[in-house]
Amino acid sequence: MHINAFEMLADPTRRLIVEALRDGERPVNDIVRRAGIHQSGVSRHLRLLHDAGFVSIRPEGRRRVYALQPGPFRELEAWIAGYRRLWEARLDRFGAALEERRNDGAAKEEPGQ
């Protein structure tokens, strides 16, 4: 996985554009309305996202329609999955320690102990 994917999504404007495209393909004017920024800015960021493989462009008459491409998101998901296993293992150990502590506390509170 290229760290470039994180750099690409680090920009808040590009994240707005990705969010605008999450529900399906859109022409640039729809993206401009959803993102709330000027068309020149949206076009520049769409070009960067396209060059990085995050979006595809499909001509539709005189306009262009943009859509998200799954590849870079799958790469990000795969990269994060390795860390998810680490977090889950730590959370499992933490949960086990809490359960043990609860059981010890309950044993001390029982009468006759």
pTM metric for this prediction: 0.72
Read off the pLDDT band of 12 (50, 70, 90): very high
Closest CA to 46 of 77, 16, 84: 16
Three-state DSSP state, 65 = strand
Three-state DSSP state, 56 = strand
Read off the pLDDT band of 113 (50, 70, 90): low
Three-state DSSP state, 1 = coil
Closest CA to 20 of 34, 9, 33: 34
What residues form DSSP beta bridges with 24?
A: none
Question: Is 25's pLDDT higher than 80?
Answer: yes
